Amino acid sequence: MGFISAIVALLRAVPSLERLFLKVADGVREANAKARYNAKLSVIDSAMRFDGVRDNPGTEWSAGVDRSPVLPEGETMLTRVEGLDEGGS
């Protein structure tokens, strides 16, 4: 245990070493996360192939599908709450 605390003390004493160590640790963490993500994607792909969904090179995802519809230029959308008097409270 004393060896680890000596390394930690050295890293804290020299900030550039500490930054380098943290950068390496972040890189390793990011590589592990990417590997898990790619493994999950391959499981999804194989499940889709098993269910009969085939890869079609002409098919692409569209980001516009998830967006709210755009009003044509010049049109205004008014909202109102039913049941309230227009005169106030």
b/e code 26-57 from CB counts within 10 Å (16+ = b): eeeeeeeeeeeeeeeeeeeeeeeeeeeeeeee
- Give ∠ CA 3-6-12 in degrees, rounded to 5: 145
Residue 43 in any domain: the answer is: yes
Residue 37 in any domain: the answer is: yes
12-39, pLDDT tens digit by residue?
888 888 888 889 999 999 999 999 999 9
The number of distinct structural domains making up the chain is: 1
Q: What is the pTM of this model?
A: 0.45
pLDDT over 60 (residue 49): yes
Amino acid at 8: V
Residue 88 in any domain: the answer is: no
Q: Is residue 21 within 8 Å of 11, Cβ to Cβ?
A: yes
Amino acid at 59: T
Domain of 42? 19-55
Report the C-alpha gap between 5 and 23 in whole angstroms.
Answer: 20
Residue 1 in any domain: the answer is: no
